[in-house]
Structure 1
Amino acid sequence: MEFLLWMAQDWAQHFGDDLLRYLLATVTVSLLVGIVFRRWMDRRRIQKRRAGWRDIRREISFSMLTIGVFATVGVVTGILYDWGWLKLYLDWGDHPLWWNIISLPVVILLHDAYFYWTHRTMHHPKLFRHFHRLHHLSRTPTPWAAYSFSVGEAVMMAAFSPLLTLLLPLHVLVWLAFIFVMIFRNAMLHAGCEFHPRGWVDGPLDILTTTTHHDLHHQKFHGNYGFYFTFWDRWMGTEFKNYKEAFRLAAGGSEKAAPAERGAGIAT
């Protein structure tokens, strides 16, 4: 009985922590888009259509379900840590300084690869309906769609952290920093307005995705699967051909971004 009570308390703690991070990211991005920089953001809206309250309520509802799944995986992760299976550490001196410095960029690179291939896999016709269709109900996404997943997709997304820490030593603060980078990036990619400056796709930072990059994915589905970086889409031929044109229209304050076109080699 005491064990079940401990499990319930631990689950509630994880749920509260994940909910706080979700709200911190989605509320911050929503306030920036809808209030603080509203006039500027309205000129940088990617789609002419706007999401309605019904869309937002659906996104929040399924995000709560996802957070419940994340909390469950968090309990399992904690048990694995107590058993000594995970390589999370608390003392910076446990590993060399160079590893402490580069570990966050390494985690982001690994997560980008994991996201690209799991995301693309979920678009396979035999898997899409069961895993990823729910997320794509957000044809015009909002920041609240960041965690709007089915149970299967939520498990797949949550599995990265325990898998990662089974394989790589990570300081707990580096792991937490990654979690915050991930949810804020996720909220930004679903914001529906282009945050990035006009010349972004014409310079060296073009290796990083933009809100337009992911918004085109929500519009047309089969393409632009990347999360942080554009290079997987470019290596695999799954980036929409007119991505840069659509970005320039949105970042330039045009009323409507160009419709997406499928690039050569795009597969489902």
Structure 2
Amino acid sequence: MDKDPVEGWHHMPAVPLEVSPLFSWPLRPGAILRWVWNSWFLISEKLILVALAFVSLTWLQPPLSETATPALPWMAQIWLRNLGLMLLVAGGLHLYFYTWSAQGKRLKYDPRPLMKNGRQFTLGGQIRDNMVWSLGSGVLVWSAYEVLMFWAMANGYAPVLTWGQSPLWFIALFLLIPVWESFYFYWIHRLLHVPFLYRHVHALHHRNINVGPWSGLSMHPVEHVIFLGSVLIHFVVPAHPVHILFHMMYLTLTAATTHTGFEGVLIKDENRLRLGTFHHQMHHRYFECNYGSLEIPWDKLFGSFHDGTKAAQDRIRARRKRMGAE
């Protein structure tokens, strides 16, 4: 039930927003199971990405025997695949929500249109600017990390996990990668809000106060290197190539889906595929709140959680004033 929601939004989910029960105490097994079910099933971004990772592994991925030796053909294959995926996902979502306006403003958080012009954008317009940073630096750094990981796995520098070694861990790793990403994202995001890094690096991403699908991966190259560096955990934690593919797709493709500006895709007047998160949408408008995601409650622990209510808005405003005075 809504509890005095903050004003100024066209559409909002029920508030107050709640973080996952994964790290609440005492543990509530029923709530945890419901959270996992709602996050993964029946149709979800995560399951779609798992399927896409297996499709890529089967038909679009060079084998480890080939990646053992650096060579332009297999590296180019990875880059072309990732370029195609970003065009398909971010481009497809932009066409659906903004070019064709397939569901109008239904489930759209911000009532305003994307900016066609703006001096803050390097190339004059929001969409053009976002596309260049996403497809240029974003896809290049994404591909470079995959090249590094597959080369390292092929040469024994990164441990490889197989289904035969541990089927349970093989499956569990898909569930744990989003949790690791939530942990990692909060801390690197807080780092990027340090004034020097914000001014010279992260401000590029925050040009997007009202976000669209191309905004998610629109970042400074330095931020791409930091943000996508989450995958380096697999130099320590064994993984199969399909986990690397899923991990990188989770970082890059959900950057597009979570920045759609819409809560989801309507089919027969029901939200059948949840996409954009209001939690992060508020970060783009209010800046100094919701640095992380809902999987791990870092923002609640450190006083930067905005749950969508007027009371939370007052707390965040007071917090910003204190930060400005420091």
What TM-score, normalized by structure 1, do the two folds share? 0.76
2:111 maps to 1:48:
yes
User: 1:124 Cα shift?
Assistant: 0.7
CA distance in 2, matches of 1:222, 1:60: 25
Q: Is the 8 A contact 2:114 2:212 kept in 1?
A: yes
Correspondence for 2:280: 214
Q: Is the 8 A contact 1:238 1:263 kept in 2?
A: no
Q: 1:167 aligns with which of 203, 221, 236?
A: 236
Between the aligned residues of both structures, percent identity stands at: 26
2:169 maps to 1:99:
yes
Q: Is the 8 A contact 1:238 1:264 kept in 2?
A: no
1:220-259 → structure 2 map (5 Å cutoff): 220-227=286-293, 229=295, 231-240=297-306, 243-244=308-309
CA distance in 1, matches of 2:138, 2:178: 21
5+ residue gaps, structure 2: 1-68, 117-124, 267-273
User: 1:176 Cα shift?
Assistant: 2.2
CA distance in 2, matches of 1:196, 1:124: 35
1:20-99 → structure 2 map (5 Å cutoff): 20-34=84-98, 35=100, 37-39=102-104, 42-53=105-116, 54-63=125-134, 64-89=136-161, 91-94=162-165, 96-99=166-169
Change in 2 beyond 3 A, CA 1:45/1:237: same
CA distance in 2, matches of 1:228, 1:101: 22
Q: 1:144 aligns with which of 214, 221, 237?
A: 214
Change in 2 beyond 3 A, CA 1:192/1:232: same
5+ residue gaps, structure 1: 198-207, 247-257
Correspondence for 1:201: none
Correspondence for 1:254: none
2:193 maps to 1:123:
yes
Change in 2 beyond 3 A, CA 1:13/1:259: farther
CA distance in 2, matches of 1:166, 1:43: 43
**Matched positions, count:** 237
Q: Is the 8 A contact 1:66 1:154 kept in 2?
A: yes
Amino acid aligned to 1:8? L
Bigger shift: residues 211-220 or 27-36: 27-36
Amino acid aligned to 2:103? R
Change in 2 beyond 3 A, CA 1:10/1:245: farther
